[in-house]
Amino acid sequence: MTTVEQIRQTSATHEARRLIWLRVWIVITLALALNYIGWRWAASINWSAWWIAVPLVLAETYSLIDLTLFSITIWRSRQRSSGPPPVPDATVDVFITTYNEPVELVLNTASAAVRIRYPHQTWILDDGDRPALREGAARLGVGYLTRGEHWHGKPRHAKAGNLNNALLNTSGEYILVLDADMVPEPEILDQTLGYFADDKVALVQTPQHFNNVPASDPLGSQAPLFYGPIQEGKDGWGAAFFCGSNAVLRREALMDLGISGYVESTLRNVRARLKEARSLVLKALRKNKAAAPQSALHATREAIDQALSDLGSGEPVAEVTYRLNNRLRELSAGVVGDDLSQLSADLDALGFDQAAFNLDSAEVIARLSESDVSPLNAIEAVTRTLQAADVGRSEEAQAVLPMATISVTEDMATAMRLHARGWKSVYHNQNLAEGLAPEGLPAALTQRLRWAQGTVQVLLRENPLLQRGLNWPQRLMYFATMWSYLSGFATVVYLAAPVLFLTAHVLPVNSYAGPFFWRFIPFMIANQLLFIFASRRLPTWRGQQYTLALFPVWITACWTAAANVWFGRPLSFAVTPKEKTHTEATPWTLIGWQLFAGAALVVSIIVGAIWLIFGNAEPIGTLINLAWVTFDLISLSVLIGAVKYRGYQAAEEE
C-alpha cells in the first residue's frame, strides 16, 4: 500500500469515527430539544400574555425544526478525497457570465480560464454587449457571445437567460460556469471531470471562496459552514445543489431538462385550452335545446374528454390534438350535411326544382362547415380555442430553456429539477476558483437579498416537499435551505420578548423556576456544542451573527418574493457590484431597523438593571433576560463594523 493510500485510509477511518460521535451528539441534542419544546407547549405558556407568549413558543418551534433539518443534513456528511481521473477526450465549454462588471476584471478571469490545463473552449457571455469586452475577448482568442435580435421584447431572465442563450450556441459536452470575478485554478477541470464517468452525474459543484476578505470577515462573506458540512451533508443525501458558479454541468442533462420543460409547458398549455373548449361546449349545451345540435355537442364534449384522458395517459400531444381536430371537422361536416339534407327534403315537399344545384356536394358541405353560417358555431369556437394553443412558446426568445427561469437565482431551481429527473450531483470540497466578495455593506445586502428572494421564489413556485421525482431526503435538503430564510420573523420575536419583560414585566413563560432551567440550559449547551462539532473547527460564529442581524433583509425577501409570485409584482435583478464603491458617508440608514432594535435592547438593559438593583424585579428571570439581550446585542454588533468597512485594501492599510 502506497503512502498516499495509507493517508487516505487513515483519513477515512478518522472521518468515520467522527461521524459516529457526531450522530450520537445529534440524537442527544434533539432529545433535549424535544423535551424542552414539549414542556414549553404543555406547561409553560403564560396565557395571560398570549400575544407574546404564543409567538415566542412558535418562534422556538421554528428553531427546533431548523435544528432538526440541520441535524438531518449533517447526519450523512460526506467528505470526498481527490477527484477521479478526468474522462478522456471530453469537450468542455467554459462560460464566464457578465453583465456590467468592469471589463478588466472579466478579462482577468478569461485569461485564467485560458490557462486551464484540460483542453477546452472559453466563452465570455456578455449580457451588456460591450464593444470593449468583445475586442478584449478577440485579443485573448476566446469566444464572445451576447443576445441576438430574437431576444428583443422577450423576457431576458437575467443570468439564466444568458446561460440559456449560450447553451444553444455552443456544443461542448460539459460546461464550467464561472462568475465574472471567479478566477479558476489551472487544475479545476482535472479535479472535477472524473466524476462524470458516472453517466448519471449532471453536476459537480466546488466551493466559492473569496481572496479579498480579511480574517475578521466583517461582512460575513465567507460561508465555511455552508461550503463545508452543509454541502457535504447534502452531498451525502444526493442533493448537493448548483450555487451559480465554480460548477461543471453535463450538457446532456441540461438539454434533457430544457426539452422536458418544453414538453411539460406545451402539455399544460394544451390541457388549459382543452378545458376552456369544454367550457364552451357546456355553455352551448345549456343554450341550445334542439335534438340534433345537442347530439353533436355531446359528441364534441366526449371527444374533448377523450383527448384529456389520452394526454393523462402519456400519449404525445401532437397525436392527441391531431385526432381531436379531425373529429371536430367530422362533427361539423356531419351537422351541416344533416341540415342540408333536411333543407333539400323541405324544398322537395314544396315542389322546388333543385336540379340547378347540388346541396349535398362534398365541396358545399366542407365550405359551409368551415364558415360562420354553420349551425353549430360552438364547434368552430372549440376549434379556434385549440388552435390558440401556443406550442412554440412564442412568448419566450427560446422554446427550450435548460436553466430554470422561475427565480432571480437560477441555480437552486435548476439543480432541483435535475434531481427530480433522476440526475445525480457531486460536491467536491476543494477551492478551485477564487473570487471577489462585496467591498461594502450596500453590495453585501444587495447580494443577500437577491439570494433570499430567489430561494423564496422557488419555495413558493416549486415547493420541494411536493415535487415528484425527488426522494424524501432530497426534498428535505432543499426545504432546509428555503426554511432558513424564514428566520427573520422568529428573530423579531426573540428581540421583542426580553425587551418586554425587562421594561414592562411582561412574562411570556409561566416562571423561570427549576423546570425551565433543567430543560433549557442542557438544550442550549448541547445545541452550541453541536455546531462546534459539526463545523470541524471552522469559523462559523460570523455566520450565526448575520443570521440574526440581517432579519430585516430576510423579511423583505419573503414579502417581496411572495408579492412577485402571487400578485405579479416585479422583482428587480441586481448584479452584485464587484468594484470598490467607497464613499465618505457611513450608510447607517441601511441598518435602521437593527439600530432601532439595538437601542431598544440597550434601554431594556438599563431599565432591567435599575429594577434589579432596587428590588422591583424577579431576580432569576431578570438575569436570564439580561443575558438574552446581551447575546442579541453581540449578534447585532457585527453590523457596526460592517457599516464602517471600506474594503480589503483599505483594511490592510489601516
Strands of 25-108, DSSP E? 92-98
Q: Could you tell me which residues come within 8 angstroms of residue 635 by beta carbon, excluding any fewer than 6 positions away?
A: 544, 545, 548, 549
Are 241 and 463 in contact, with CB atoms under 8 Å apart?
no
Long-range pairs of 589-594 with CB within 8 A, sequence gap ≥ 24: 590/441, 590/442, 590/445, 590/643, 591/441, 591/639, 591/643, 593/551, 593/552, 594/549, 594/551, 594/552, 594/636, 594/639
> pLDDT tens digits, residue range 248-267?
999 999 999 999 998 888 88
Contacts of 21 (CB under 8 A, 6+ apart): 533
CA neighbor of 33 nearest in space, from 58, 68, 59, 75: 68
pLDDT tens figures, 476-514? 999 999 999 999 999 999 999 999 999 999 999 988 888
pLDDT one-digit tens code per residue, 103-136: 999 999 999 999 999 999 999 999 999 999 999 9
Coil, strand, or helix at residue 18? Answer: helix
Spell out the domains of the chain, with CATH numbers in brackets. 11-75+483-653 (no CATH), 92-253+411-471 (3.90.550.10), 260-387 (no CATH)
Q: Longest Cα pair distance anywhere in the chain, in angstroms?
A: 118
556 vs 342, residue with greater confidence = 556
494 closest CA partner among 639, 620, 635, 595: 635
Q: Which of 30-34, 132-136, 316-320, 462-466 has the lowest mean pLDDT?
A: 316-320
What does the pLDDT look like over 409-436, one tens digit per residue? 889 999 999 999 999 999 999 999 999 9
360 pLDDT more than 70: no
Give, to the nearest 10 degrees, the angle between helix 619-636 and helix 592-613.
150
Q: Residue 650's pLDDT is what? A: 47
Higher per-residue confidence, 649 vs 232: 232
Residue 309 to residue 306: CA distance in whole angstroms = 5
Confidence class for position 337, pLDDT limits 50, 70, 90? low
SS (H, E, C) 407-422: CCCHHHHHHHHHHHCC
Mean pLDDT for 393-405 is 90
Chain centroid offset of residue 163 CA = 16
Mean pLDDT of 337-358: 54
pLDDT at 372: 41
